[in-house]
Amino acid sequence: MVSHLGRYCPSYHVFPAKGWMNDPNGLILYKGEYHLFFQHNPDDTVWGPMNWGHFVSDDLMHWEELDIALCPDRHGTIFSGCVVYDSGNTSGVVPGGGLVAVYTYHKEDADFGQQQTQGLAFSLDRGRVWTPFAGNPIIKAEDKAGARDFRDPRVFRYMDYWALVLAAGDHLCFYRSDNLVDWRPSGIFDFPFPGCVMECPDLFPLRESESGEDAWILIISLSTGAPAGGSGTVYFVGAFNGSAFSPISGPRWLDWGPDNYAGSTWDTGTERIFIGWMNNWRYARDIPAAAGRSRGSMSVPRKLSLLNSRGSGWVLCQSPVIPEGGQSEGMRAIGPLAVGQARSLGTVPCHSIQKIRIERKDEGPIEASLRWTYECGAALWVLVRGSGGELIIDRSDCGAVDFNSSFVGRISVPLARRTNVFEATLLFDTTSLELFAEDGASVASVLIFPERTDADMALDIVAGDDGTTVSVSWRRVF
Ligand code: FRU
C-alpha cells in the first residue's frame, strides 16, 4: 500500500507522495494492470498547472506511483480525460495496438479568459511513456465563448466506432469517430437544472441485478449544489443509441457525503468499478496536507451494481473493494438497551472496516446514536433516525475543522428502508470515513482530521428506543 506515512496520511487510500491531487483520470485495466492517472500539481500542495500523475495496481488495493504521464505543452495544461486501448490501431499512432489518452488542454487567453480544447496522446509501452499527437488539438468548441467550459472527454467503443462525451457548461456534447482523431458531433444532453457547471461525465452500460436487463448509466459531477454543500456527483439511468443519451430516471446523488467528486469507472470486462476524488471544491485547498507535503486522496474503489426495485426505482449500489491484510478481527454485541441508555461497545481499531447492525425489538424505525472517540478526544457521531428515514453524520468535533468555515455542516444520508434493522459497513482510515448502508444504495464519503489515529477508538451507543441491540464486527486494516 502507499507507504509514505506521516501525519494525516491515509493508510489504504491512494494519495501522491507530494504535491496536489484532484480528479481520477484515464482509468483503464490493461495487461493485468489497473491504471489510475490523476489531476496533479507536482510542485505545490494547491491546484496549479495540471499534469497527469500516475498510479498502477494489480488488485485495486496496493498502488505504486509512477512518473508523471502527461505534462503541460504549448496547447495548455492537462485537464481531465480518459484512456482507451486502440487494439486495431484505428488512430494510426499505435502500430500493433496501444493506449490512447484523450484529455482536455486548458489555456488562459488574454482576451477570452480560459479556453479549452481536446488533445490526444499515445503510449506503446503499457502507459509509461506518452507522446502527444502532432495534430493536437483534435476537438475545438464552435466558438470562444463555448470553449470556456469544454472539457473532460470520456471515450468508449460503441458497435464499430468510438463515442465521446464531454462537459460543456450546462450541457454535454456527444461525438463519434472512426479513428479517435477526427470527431463529428452526434448529440447534446441538457442538464435538467440549468445554470450549473457539469464536469467529468462517464457513460457505460450496466446489467440490472435481478432482471438481467441492460441500462446505461450516466455519471456527472456538478460543481455546486450538492446535498452536503459544494460539489457532488449525480447519476442518471437511461438509454444510449450511439449518438445521444435519454434518461429514464434520475438525477440521483451518487454519494450523500460532502467528499466524493469527479469520479469515473474502470471497465474490467465483467464489472464496473468506480473511484472518486475524496474531496470538495469548497475547501479542497485548505484541508490539512498529508505529512505537510501532499494534498488530496481518492475514495476506495467501489463495485457498481444496478437495481430496479418497485419501491425505489432504479438505484445504483456501491460495494467497496475492501483491502486485504487485516491483522485482527473482532466482534462485540450488546443489548437490549432501554431508551436513552448509553453503553460502550469497547474499542475498535482506527484503520478498520466495521460492520454495524442495530435492531430494535418491536416493529418500527431505529433511533440510535453512535460515537467514535479517538485517543486525542476527537469524536465522530452518526445518528440513525429511521423515523425520519435518515442518517446524520456530525464531524464538527472530530479534530481539525477550522481551516475552512464550510467544512462543518449538516451531512444527512436518506434511508429508504424503514425497518427495525439497520446495517452498514464503515471504512475508517486516517482521514476519512466511508459509510455504505442499505446494501450500498445509501453511501456517504466524509473527510475527518483527528490529530492522532494510531490507537484504537472507543465506540459508544445511546439507544433511542426500548430493546435496542447492537453488534459491531471489525477487521483491522494494516
Ligand atoms: C473537476 C475539474 C475538471 C477539470 C479538472 C481540472 O474537478 O474541474 O472539470 O478537468 O478538475 O483540474
pLDDT at 310: 78
For ligand 1, the distance from its centroid to the CA atom of residue 201, given in whole angstroms, is 11
Catalytic residue among 23, 149, 429, 465: 23
Measured distance CA(307)–CA(155) in Å, rounded: 25
CA dihedral for 245, 250, 253, 254, sign (positive or negative): negative
Q: Nearest Cα to 423, choosing from 411, 412, 410, 439?
A: 439
pLDDT tens across 380-432, in order?
999 999 888 999 999 999 999 999 999 999 999 999 888 899 999 999 999 99
For ligand 1, the distance from its centroid to the CA atom of residue 395, given in whole angstroms, is 26
Domains of the chain: 19-320 (2.115.10.20), 329-476 (2.60.120.560)
**168 Cβ below 6 A of ligand 1:** no
The neighbour count for residue 396, using CB atoms within 10 Å, is: 13
Q: Is the pLDDT of residue 105 over 80?
A: yes
**152 Cβ below 6 A of ligand 1:** yes
Q: Nearest Cα to 72, choosing from 100, 116, 107, 114?
A: 107
pLDDT at 418: 84
Measured distance CA(395)–CA(372) in Å, rounded: 11
pLDDT at 4: 47
pLDDT band at 2 (very low <50, low <70, confident <90, very high): very low
**pTM of whole model > 0.95?**
yes
Measured distance CA(24)–CA(273) in Å, rounded: 12
**150 Cβ below 6 A of ligand 1:** no
User: Which residues on adjacent β-strands are paired with residue 310?
Assistant: none
Which grid cell sits at 215?
A: 441500462
**22 Cβ below 6 A of ligand 1:** yes
Q: Is the pLDDT of residue 1 over 80?
A: no
- Is 466 one of the annotated active-site residues of the chain? no
Closest residue by Cα to atom 9, ligand 1, is 199
Torsion angle, alpha carbons of 341, 347, 350, 354, to 10: -70
